[in-house]
Each structure stands twice: as structure tokens, then as C-alpha cells.
Amino acid sequence: MKNMDISNTNLLVKGSKLNFQVFPALELEDKNLEFLHLISSAVLSGHLQKVCFYNASFLSTKFSGVSFNDCDLKSSDLCSIWVNNCSFQNTDFSNATISDSTFVNCMFNGAIFESISLTKCQFINCTFEQFLIDDSTFSLNTFKHCCIKHTFY
């Protein structure tokens, strides 16, 4: 019997609609994943460098141990996601909608939150540094044991 290396990373293309996918280790660089829909899925570790998620949708998806570096999450919809031990370095969330989500032990360094809607989210033990917030709406969010420094409004 021949062994086959089957990876679901080849499913990640611009405009993909993916449900119930598990990515044990996801490594992507300079990839265009505009209009991606990732629903009820999990990314269990990884490094994403300069990945464009413009107008993407993440619903009921779990991210754990993932670093997002110079990624574009503009106009994305992040609803009911669980994010644990992730870092967002120079990641742009402009015009994104983030709701009913939980972020635990995450670092936002140089993240841009311009014109976002952030509603009913929990941030626990998170660090925000050089964080840019402008023309955004924050409603019913909880920040527990978070460190916020050098934030620009």
C-alpha cells in the first residue's frame, strides 16, 4: 500500500468556503485568501506572514498558538471565534467586525483597529502595544488582566 501525504492546506485559496477543517500546523507566507470563509474549524498552531484575509469570514473557529505577522484582516467578519496564545504583529483589522469572541493570552503589537466594530468580546491576559484605534465602536467587551500601552486614538 502506498503512503499518501494529504494536506488540507491546498484547500486554502481565494474565495474558499471551508467547514469543519482542522489544520494541525499552518504555515503560510505571501498568500491571497480574500473572501475566505472558514466555519467551525481549528488552526492548532502556525505562522502566517503577509497573508491577505480581506473580507474573509471566520465563524466559530478556534486559533491556538498562531502568529499573524503583517496580515490583512480588513473588512473581515470574526464571529464566535476562540483565540488562545496567538500574536498579531502589525496586523490590520480595519473595518472588521469582531463579535462574541474570546481572546486569551494574546499579544497585539502594532495592530490597527480603525473603524472596527468590537462587540461582546472577552480579552483575558492580553497585551496591546502600539495599538491604533480610530473611529471604532466598542460595546459590551471585557478586558481582564490586560496590559495596554502606547495606544493611539
Query: What is the mean pLDDT of each successive set of 10 residues along the chain, which is 153 residues long?
Result: 49 93 95 97 97 98 98 98 98 98 97 96 96 91 94 70
Q: What is the pLDDT of residue 9?
A: 67
Identify any residues that bridge with 139 across adjacent strands, giving them in sequence order: 119
Q: What is the pLDDT of residue 66?
A: 98
Q: What is the pLDDT of residue 4?
A: 34
Residue 117: strand, helix, or coil: strand
Helices (H), the chain: none
First to last CA, the chain: 61
Q: What is the pLDDT of residue 10?
A: 80
Measured distance CA(48)–CA(76) in Å, rounded: 16
Q: Is 130 left (phi over 0), alpha (psi -120 to 50) or beta?
A: left
